[in-house]
Amino acid sequence: MNRAQDQDPADRTDEYGRPIGPPLDDWTAPPRPTGPPMVGRYVEVVETDVEAHAGALFAAFTEPADWTYLAHGPFDDVATFTEWLHASCANDAALFHTILVDGDPVGLAAYLRIDPRMGSVEVGSIHFSRALQRTPASTEAMFLMMQRAFDLGYRRYEWKCDALNAPSRAAAARLGFIFEGIFRQAVIYKQRSRDTAWFSITDSEWPARRAAFTAWLDPSNFDPDGTQRTRL
C-alpha cells in the first residue's frame, strides 16, 4: 500500500514497492489559455487580429536577421506576411498574440503545443521588433503570458529554441526557465538541421518567479532615464 500522504513524495511507492511520483488526486485540466487582453504597466498583450495588426507588424519587423532562428520569414511583402499570419492564427495547436506598446503592434508571441490534459504549454514563435527588444515591455509581455498560463492551472511552461540561438537561450535563463537539455537533430527547417534546447518553469517554481518579475517591473526599479537599478 502507499505510505501516508504527508511523507516525502520522493519516497512514495506502489503496492509492489516500486517508486512512484507525487499524487495528483485533485488534478483538473485547465482551459485553453485564451482570454481578455493582458494589460501591464508597459505593454498590452492581445490575441492577434490579423487584419488590424499585420500591416503594423510587418512595418515593425525591419531586420531580416531577426528571422534567422524562426521557422518562417523573412517576408518580401506585407501580403505574404499577412497570408502566413492568417494561416498561423488558424492553427488550433497555436494561439498567437500581438504585443502592443502605446497601442502600436511591435511584437508577436504564441502559445504552442497547448496540452490542457497534461497541463503543459509552450511559449514560442517569439518575434520582437527592434523597438521592443531589451525593454521592460518585452520582459513584461513574457511575464503576462506566463502568468495567464499558471493562473489557469497549467503545471509546466516550456521554452524551446535552436541550440545555436545564444540570445534566446540567454533570454530563457534570464526569465527564470530551467535548462533541461538538447534534443539532437530534432527539427528540419529552412533546409537545415536543428538541435533544440529545452527549458521549462513548473507551477511549484512559479511563485518565486512571479515575485521576482513583480519586483523587477516596479517603476521604482528604474531610474529617471529608464535604466534598471536591480537586474532580474
Work out the mean pLDDT of the chain and round it to a whole number: 95
Query: Cβ distance 21 to 12 under 8 Å?
Result: yes
Q: How many domains does the chain have?
A: 1
Q: pLDDT band at residue 4, thresholds of 50, 70 and 90?
A: very low
Q: pLDDT band at residue 2, thresholds of 50, 70 and 90?
A: very low
pLDDT at 7: 56
The CATH number assigned to the domain holding 117 equals 3.40.630.30
In a domain, 6, yes or no: no
Min mean pLDDT across 10-19, 58-67, 123-132 is at 10-19
In a domain, 28, yes or no: no
Residue appearing with cell numbers 492551472: 153
DSSP string, 23-80: --TT--PPPPS--S-EE-SS-EEEE--HHHHHHHHHHH---GGGGTTSSS---SSHHH
Query: Cβ distance 169 to 135 under 8 Å?
Result: no
Residue 26, Cβ density class (10 Å: 0-12 exposed, 13-18 middle, ≥19 buried) = exposed
Please give the residue range of the domain that contains residue 49: 35-221
Report whether pLDDT(70) > 50: yes
In a domain, 3, yes or no: no
Q: Note if the bond before 74 is cis, omega within 30 degrees.
A: yes
In a domain, 207, yes or no: yes
In a domain, 24, yes or no: no
> What are 189-223's pLDDT values in tens digits?
999 999 999 999 999 999 999 999 999 999 999 99
Q: pLDDT band at residue 1, thresholds of 50, 70 and 90?
A: very low
> What are 128-137's pLDDT values in tens digits?
999 999 999 9
In a domain, 231, yes or no: no
Q: Is 223 helix (H, G, I), strand (E, B) or coil?
A: coil
In a domain, 205, yes or no: yes
